[in-house]
Amino acid sequence: MADKLKVATTSLAGCFGCHMSFLDINERMIELAQHIEFDRSPITDIEHCGPCDIGLIEGGVCNSDNVHVLREFRKNCKVLVAVGACAINGGLPAMRNHFKVEDCLNESYIDGLGVENAQIPSDPELPLLLDKVHPIHEIVKVDYYMPGCPPSGDVFWTFLSDIIAGEEPSLPYELLHFD
């Protein structure tokens, strides 16, 4: 058998639902493990993305750390995949794009219900917020899009099976839904 494909995954500004959905391939994960190995992912807890065949990115880009991670993935992954609505179009996190960042911070940390000891966090280790949430294709080149909120386990399975087989990924219409 040929070498296994190396796959890296990350979640930027999103809910982590796409990763949870990926796990919904259930027992097929055992078969998948015969063909791929994980680099950076929540499964391995590897901190940086090394050279990989496939990078699966969930979530939009909302801060300087997201930009850094996304560029690292693009540099190290032969194929970069935008996974889910947040990566593709900003998703729910992009709802803040209609407001100034300052207004969002004030609502969350100063004026919000139940806020005690009101102060906006200013630790230098916190990543700088961007003025808006971006879909990942506005920051780096994306090779494929895996739509859904989240994409189903069957979408992950079909997409990765096509790649493993050396075929162009194809997602039948009946697999695509947003619920």
CATH number of 5-95+130-175: 3.40.50.700
Query: Where do the domains of the chain lie?
Result: 5-95+130-175
Tell me the pLDDT of the chain (179 aa) as tens digits: 458 999 999 999 999 999 999 999 999 999 999 999 999 988 888 888 999 999 999 999 999 999 999 999 999 999 999 999 999 999 999 999 999 999 999 999 999 888 888 999 989 999 999 999 999 999 999 999 999 999 999 999 999 999 999 999 988 888 887 66
3-state secondary structure the chain: CCCCEEEEEEECECCCHHHHHHHHHCCHHHHHCCCEEECCCCCCCCCCCCCEEEEEEECEEEEHHHHHHHHHHHHHEEEEEEEHHHHHHCCHHHHHHHCCHHHHHHHHHHCCCCCCCCCCCCCCCCCCEEEEEECHHHCCCCCEEECCCCCCHHHHHHHHHHHHCCCCCCCCHHHCCCC
